[in-house]
Amino acid sequence: MSANLAAIFYLVSGILFILALRGLSSPDTSRQGNYFGITGMIIAIVVTFLSIGNFSTSLVYVLLFLVIGGAIGAFIAFKIPMTAMPELVAGFHSLVGLAAVFVAIAAFLNPAAFNLGNIGDIKLASLIEMSIGAAVGAITFSGSIIAFLKLRGIMSGAPITFSGQHILNLILGIGIFVLIFYLCKTQSTNIFWTVILISFLVGVLLIIPIGGADMPVVISMLNSYSGWAAAGIGFTLENTALIITGALVGSSGAILSYIMCKAMNRSFVSVILGGFGADNSSKDKKEKKDQKPVKSGNAEDAAFLMKNASSVIIVPGYGMAVAQAQHALREMVDKLKKNDIKVTYAIHPVAGRMPGHMNVLLAEANVPYDEVFELEDINNDFANSDVAFVIGANDVTNPVAKTDPKSPIFGMPVLDVEKCKSVLFVKRSLSPGYAGIDNELFYKDNTLMLFADAKKMTEDIVKNLD
């Protein structure tokens, strides 16, 4: 395939990726957006195949690894539960970063194969591009691995901090740029490997101080990093599709991170630099749990309160995802609506462990989009509602975010659930949420705790609504 024709098809692929992002901006058009993205990727892959120089030999290797990688990816996609999607996304980001590092290494060790010059005499622009791509890719890889370990529970979700941490990060960051400068002057192999190793270390240091409550923003941020790494390597390979795709992922991830930071009242600069997440939660939380009693009830109590309500607001969270209770929840809501009870859903921007987690689950249960509202659109309605049914949401409903400056979630906008006349809180126990702090909502006079698996409790409530 000629270079001009390949460029045209890559441009078409890029346009489809843009349409995909546009479609994914709304639940109504998300399925169509996915189709655009799939079509764009198929075009990009086919054009890349047809652009391979030594077609007969190279294509065999490309197809072999494509089949192996595709089979592994398909197996994981079929087996992975929705609750594990955040760590899966983090894992995939790490692979994008590692791919960028490998391509940069290949280009540095064999520049002639990429038309970049010869060993020791690589084009300056190409050397800068591959160095930055390798550095960002390495940061993305190690940072994503730490995020994966935290989300998976293999590593503690609590922030890991030490004295002089930010100064060390600054020194290492400046060191990377200085080494890239000297790499461009000397083209030393040792300096190239040093840049990659320091970048791996920076990725770890950027993510370890970030606590569990802020992990959804980390996922979005790493998504942006992976895009910029891919774009950098796209320049090295002179691949238009990779440049467009990387730039789209990088910019959209950065915009999403900014939106989420705004929703959580976090500093965007601090997120990029890994400078937030310190856990200063006070010890009096445990004392409060021991000293202050809670009111607990059962499915019959919950059904009675909801049957006698005129309006109910559903607040889904990670607990609903774990129990896969969205279908039972939809059945409960349908019964309430038959009794002329107004039901709406309140979604916090970071409910669950990744952006849009709850929206996807509710869409899976065919919940009408016009019944689902974001925090800023529904928060004022809690004060005028009879019942709030909190199903597995914890940190996003914690009033301490508005009252305790020492709390790791202080300043984060939360759903004003406590303003409802009655709060039904479905949870297995009084254990803290992912941020590691106790929820003051448990002890409010208008809160009735429903200790059970979210799906089992919802199903029991449905039976009592008859």
Q: 301 an active-site residue?
A: no
Residue 25 CA neighbour count, 13 Å, CB half? 12
Placement of tokens 């441009």 in the chain:
11
Asked if residue 335 lies in contact with residue 465, where contact means CB atoms within 8 angstroms, the answer is yes
Give the length of the chain.
466
Show the tokens assigned to 322: 């774990």
d(CA 264, CA 211): 13
Amino acid identity, residue 222? L
Distinct helix (H) and strand (E) counts, the chain: 17, 8
Q: Sign of the CA dihedral 261, 262, 263, 264?
A: positive
Run of H or E residues at 390:
strand 387-391
CA dihedral of 235, 237, 239, 244, whole degrees rounded to 10: -40
d(CA 185, CA 114): 20
d(CA 1, CA 43): 13
Instruction: Let me know the angle formed at the C-alpha of 68 by 66 and 72, rounded to the nearest 5 degrees.
Output: 115
Q: Is 420 helix (H, G, I), strand (E, B) or coil?
A: coil
Run of H or E residues at 436:
none
Show the tokens assigned to 165: 């941490």
Largest CA distance in the chain: 79
For the residues of 394-411, what is the DSSP string, one character each? -GGG-GGGGT-TTSTTTT
**Strands of the 422-427 sheet, one edge to the other:** 372-374, 342-347, 311-316, 387-391, 422-427, 447-451
Tell me whether residue 60 is exposed, middle or buried, using C-beta atoms within 10 angstroms of its C-beta: 0 to 12, 13 to 18, 19 or more: exposed
Pick the catalytic residue: 214, 395, 404, 416?
395
d(CA 249, CA 18): 10
Point out which residues pair with 128 in neighbouring strands.
Answer: none
- Pairing type for strands 117-118 and 121-122 reads antiparallel
Catalytic annotation, residues: 395
